[in-house]
Amino acid sequence: MAIISAAGLARTFTTKRGPVEAVRGIDLTVREGEILGFLGPNGAGKTTTLRMLTTLLAPTGGAATVAGHDLATDPAGVRAACGYVAQSGGVDTQITVREELVTQGRLYRLTKARAVERADELAGDLGLTELLDRKCGTLSGGQRRRLDIAMALTHRPKVLFLDEPTTGLDPGARADLWDLVRRLRDEHGTTVFLTTHYLDEADALSDRLVVVDGGAVVAEGTAAALKLEFGGAPDASLQDTFLAVTGRSAAPADATPVAV
C-alpha cells in the first residue's frame, strides 16, 4: 500500500534574479513500512521535496498525499502522521535536553506527566539518558542529531523524514542510527524517507532508491536493479551507478559533449 504518493509535485521559488525551478514535477510512490533512499547531487531538490511533503513549504504545482492525507486539503493530518528531521537541526541552545523533549511532547498535546515519561523513553531509545540534564548548546554534533531524531519521534509518526541524518556522525554513531532506522521499520512498521550523500549508507539501509537531479526523478528501483541498469552489472558500485544516473560519469574531463 502506498503511504506517500506524489504526482507532478513542483516548487518554483521567485527570486530577484528570476524564478528558480527547484522541483520540476516529481512523481513518486512510497510503500508503507519501507525505507526509501532519496538521492541526488547538491541542489537536486531533495530538501525542497521533503519540506513540501511535510507541509513546511507550499507546492507551486502538483499534489501529494501522506498517510492518506492530502497536502493541500488536510495539512494538519499530514503533520500528525509525519516526523521531520531537517538537514541542520535547530534546537534551542540554552534549555536542557529534558526540557526540549518535554516541550516537544507538550506541542503534540501530551499531558505534562506523559510528556515527562515520553522524554525518558525517547532518551533511552536514542542513547540520551545520561545527557538529559545537559544544556542543548553543549551537545556534540552527533548527540544533537540524536536529539533532533528523538524530537521527531515524539508522536510516534507513521512516516519519518530524515534529511541527511548521519552527516557529521562518527562511524559508531552512524551504525547506531542505521540500527534505529531498521528497528523503526521492523518493530513499528514506520516508513522512513531518507536523504543521504553516503552511498554505502543508501545501499545498506534502503529497500528502494529514488534518484533526483535538476528537480526531477531520473531513476528509481532497488539498489541491485539500478546497479544492473546503470552500472552495467548487479555488483557494480552504487557510486559508479549514481555517477552514471546523474550524468557525472567517470568520462574524461575533455570528453566532447554530444551534439544536440
Ligand X SMILES: Nc1ncnc2c1ncn2[C@@H]1O[C@H](COP(=O)(O)OP(=O)(O)OP(=O)(O)O)[C@@H](O)[C@H]1O
Residue 195 CB, nearest distance to Mg ion (Å)? 6
242 touches 37 (CB < 8 A): no
Looking at the Cβ atoms of 85 and 123, the one nearer to Mg ion is 85
Which residues on neighbouring strands pair with residue 14, listed in sequence order? 19
Choose among ligand X, Mg ion, none what residue 15 binds, the Cβ cut-off being 5 to 8 Å by kind.
ligand X
* Greatest alpha-carbon span in the chain: 67
Reported residue count of the chain is: 260
The answer to whether 49 contacts Mg ion (rule: CB under 5 A) is: no
71 touches 65 (CB < 8 A): yes
DSSP 3-state of 194: strand
* CA-derived radius of gyration, the chain: 19
Looking at the Cβ atoms of 47 and 190, the one nearer to ligand X is 47
Choose among ligand X, Mg ion, none what residue 236 binds, the Cβ cut-off being 5 to 8 Å by kind.
none
Q: Which of these segments, 7-15, 42-50, 106-114, 230-238, binds Mg ion (CB under 5 A)?
A: 42-50
Choose among Mg ion, ligand X, none what residue 94 binds, the Cβ cut-off being 5 to 8 Å by kind.
none
| CA–CA distances in Å: residue 5 to residues 59, 73, 214, 223 | 14, 15, 20, 21
Residue written as cell 562511524? 171
User: Which residue in the set 24, 39, 47, 245 belongs to the binding site for Mg ion (CB under 5 A)?
Assistant: 47
Residue 160 CB, nearest distance to Mg ion (Å)? 16
Looking at the Cβ atoms of 41 and 68, the one nearer to ligand X is 41
What distance in Å separates the CA atoms of residue 213 and residue 200, rounded to the nearest whole number?
Answer: 19
CA 214 to chain centre: 18
Looking at the Cβ atoms of 38 and 230, the one nearer to Mg ion is 38
Residue 23 CB, nearest distance to Mg ion (Å)? 12
Looking at the Cβ atoms of 43 and 189, the one nearer to ligand X is 43
* Contacts with ligand X, residue ranges (CB under 6 A): 13, 15, 20, 22, 40, 42-48, 87
Per-residue binder mask for Mg ion (CB under 5 A), 77-106, x = binder:
----------x-------------------
Choose among ligand X, Mg ion, none what residue 45 binds, the Cβ cut-off being 5 to 8 Å by kind.
ligand X
Closest by alpha carbon to 198, among 51, 21, 79, 38?
38
DSSP 3-state of 50: helix
Looking at the Cβ atoms of 26 and 131, the one nearer to ligand X is 26
Other CB atoms closer than 10 Å to residue 252's CB: what's the count? 7
Site residues (vs Mg ion, CB under 5 A):
46-47, 87
